[in-house]
Amino acid sequence: MTATRLNPARAAILAVDDSPQAMEILSQILLGFGAAKAAKCHSARDAKRLLASETFNLAIIDDDMPGEDGYDLTHWVRLDPGGRNYTAPIIIATSNPARSRILKARDCGANAVITKPIIPAVLLQRMERMARINRPFVTSDTYRGPDRRFQNLPLPEGVSERRMDAIRLMEAPERELSQDEINALF
Amino acid sequence: MPVAEIFMPENRLGAILGGASDPTSARLTKAAERRVDTLQSGLRLHVAGNMQIVRALARQSDETLLAESHALGDAAQAICEVAGAAGLYALGEAARGVFMMVAAHAAQGIWRPEALKVHMNAMIMIDAEPDPDEASGRHAVILEELQGLRTRIGIAR
């Protein structure tokens, strides 16, 4: 990764977060990446206005906002196939990496989830990965978003089969997922 | 039977892939980290304000804690979403445990005040350390114990 050359300044990025502190962290990260022209919104309502009138290369959306939350906003972006940002990459940022919420983000059509506080290296890795991998996009009655059928991960080293007790534990809806486990779901 | 349309959209982030004259990702990461570091004092003040709420609620009865669970969840969330960026990693992760337990109460009805208070007291203890770097070994043990506790109530990884 260290030798990769990137220029995020070429991307129009939208950041949405109701927390001034979290927004400041994200803003400084994006400035450090050279993305000086990132647009910022503190609510889903303001973000909708921008998303309807401008084209973005990436949206980074907080999941937990009062009123319409980040899942609602992501779902709204994916509603209109004629919308300017219908296929735009969306990263949801969350403080609560419970399995149920990660799956909700995925079902809304998000491309990735990262945990807060956002760590520059983690965000840049996700951006680079999305830049390098061309993913098909699915429009159906029940799902609109990036095609999720592209990962075929092997069992972890030393594991010969999935045990039912491990599967039950993995499927607990409130179980906290690590960033690696979250990445494996997208 | 539902019909799905599958197509290959333009890769909108492809534009960021750079050439020889563009900065390395290591350089971009360092630049971003340096900028985040400049926020530390303000973020620590924000954390300190929310820790006052946690401290006050840690002394309350289980009934009061339940009645004030929204305030506790908000304070814990406010801490966990910035503490790591302020160099207070352990405090942030302990706060994340509190936030997730309060959220699990709202979503699943899992309410475990004793586990919450253990987490809140751990936060107070971690916050009292004058040098988080020097105490990182002790903090790692505390976080492991908290995670074990959350695992037993179905919340931790």
Minimum CA–CA partner of B31 in chain A? A32
- Counting the structural domains of chain A, the total is 1
What is the extent of the structural domain holding A46?
8-184
Instruction: Determine, yes or no, domain membership for B51.
Output: yes
Inside any domain, residue A57: yes
| Residues spanned by the domain of B139 | 23-152
Q: Across residues A132-146, what is the average pLDDT?
A: 95
Binned at pLDDT 50, 70 and 90, residue A113 comes out as: very high
B60 is a domain residue: yes
- What CATH number is attached to the domain comprising A121? 3.40.50.2300
Among A10-24, A40-54, A90-104, A150-164, the minimum mean pLDDT is found in: A150-164
B13 CB neighbours in chain A (<8 A) are 11, 57-58, 89, 127, 130-131
The per-residue pLDDT for A178 is: 85
Question: For residue B101, is it within any domain?
Answer: yes
Best of A13, A21, A124 to disrupt the B interface by mutation (most B CBs within 10 Å)? Answer: A21
Which residues of B fall within a CB distance of 8 Å from A31?
32, 35
A137 located within any domain: yes
The pLDDT assigned to B157 comes to 55
User: Cα–Cα–Cα angle for A114, B76, A105, nearest 5°?
Assistant: 30
Position B3 in a domain: no
A1 within some domain: no
pLDDT for residue A161:
65
> How close B133 comes to chain A (CA, Å)?
18
Per-chain mean pLDDT for chain B: 94
Q: Is A2 within a domain?
A: no
Number of domains chain B contains: 1
Q: Which range scores top for mean pLDDT: B17-26, B48-57, B101-110?
A: B48-57
In a domain, B15, yes or no: no
Tell me the average pLDDT across B40-56.
Answer: 98
- Residue A162, pLDDT > 70, answer no
Interface test mutation site (partner A, options B33, B36, B119, max chain A beta carbons within 10 A): B36
Element (H, E) at B5: strand B5-7
Closest-CA residue of chain B to A174: B155
